[in-house]
Amino acid sequence: MYTPSSFKEENPDVLFDLIEDHNFGIIFSQHKDQPEATHLPFLVHRKKGEQGTLIAHFAKANKHWKKLDETKEVLVVFQGPHSYISPAWYVNRAEVPTWNYATVHVFGKPKIIDDPTELNKMVKELTHFHEDQENTDWKLNEVPEKEYNTDLKAIVGLEIEISKMEGKFKFNQNKSDKDQKSVISKMDDLGRDDISAIMKRNLDSPK
């Protein structure tokens, strides 16, 4: 990923936070010169493996998982908040438009999990994570056991031990503080506190 130094984010906690907040990622792989991509919700284990581990699951009917080579790395992309930025929002309007965004690229070798016990554990972890995020009172045990076991047989698990992460947080760091503050004000006006919060953090960080 092309990342100028001013936009590079290397703090693992910041990258993990983005993955957790925007965990519907895309896994990319290559098979016989043919690119493959699947959109999946991921869960990240920050302390599992030297640099963390991603888990997810495929529908068994999705043939992508069968094409994964466990000896070759895959790429998983997580897209964070993003927005068009108009020069009208700068103090100095003699600029061109741009796009502010955050993204994390994760690399690692895939491992397919088909053991029912491990798969059950993965599904429960992912479900509990999202139910907690949404603050619901629904429990997985509300699904009848027979139906649950049938559904479990229709998926395969995916585990990716992370070998490398690349983070790009492009939020006008190459502009003056006045221009950045002006964009922050506009983002707040538009209700885009997901953008303005990152920009405020950047301004408050030591130069």
CATH number at residue 110: 2.30.110.10
Q: Does 168 fall in a domain?
A: yes
The whole-chain average pLDDT of the chain stands at 95
Mean pLDDT of 45-74: 96
Mean pLDDT of 17-46: 96
- How many Å apart are CA 35 and CA 89, to the nearest integer? 39
Instruction: Name the band, by pLDDT with cuts 50, 70 and 90, for residue 205.
Output: confident
Tokens of residue 10, six digits = 């290397």
Q: What is the pLDDT of residue 207?
A: 64
CA distances from 206 to 167, 172, 179 (A): 19, 16, 18
The contacts of residue 112 (CB under 8 Å, 6+ apart) are: 65, 68, 70, 156, 157, 158
Are the C-beta atoms of 152 and 136 separated by less than 8 Å? no
- Host H or E run for residue 42: none
* Crossing angle of the two packed helices 177-189 and 193-204, in degrees rounded to 10: 150
Q: Does 207 fall in a domain?
A: no
CA distances from 34 to 30, 68, 108 (A): 6, 12, 19
Report the domain count for the chain: 1
Asked if pLDDT for residue 72 goes beyond 70, the answer is yes
- How many Å apart are CA 204 and CA 207, to the nearest integer? 9
Name the residue range of residue 186's domain: 5-201
- How many Å apart are CA 139 and CA 8, to the nearest integer? 40
Q: Does 141 fall in a domain?
A: yes
Neighbour-count burial for 34-68, b at 16+ CB within 10 Å, e otherwise: eebebebebbbebeeeeebbbbbbbeeeeebbeeb
Q: What is the pLDDT of residue 57?
A: 97
Mean pLDDT of 35-42: 97
Q: Does 38 fall in a domain?
A: yes
Mean pLDDT of 4-31: 96
pLDDT digits (tens, 9 = 90+) for 132-165: 988 888 989 899 999 999 999 999 999 999 999 9
Asked if pLDDT for residue 206 goes beyond 80, the answer is no
Q: What is the pLDDT of residue 133?
A: 87
Asked if pLDDT for residue 25 goes beyond 90, the answer is yes
Q: Does 167 fall in a domain?
A: yes
Mean pLDDT of 184-207: 93
Q: Does 206 fall in a domain?
A: no
Token look-up 């897209």 returns: 79
Q: What is the pLDDT of residue 33?
A: 87
Mean pLDDT of 14-21: 96
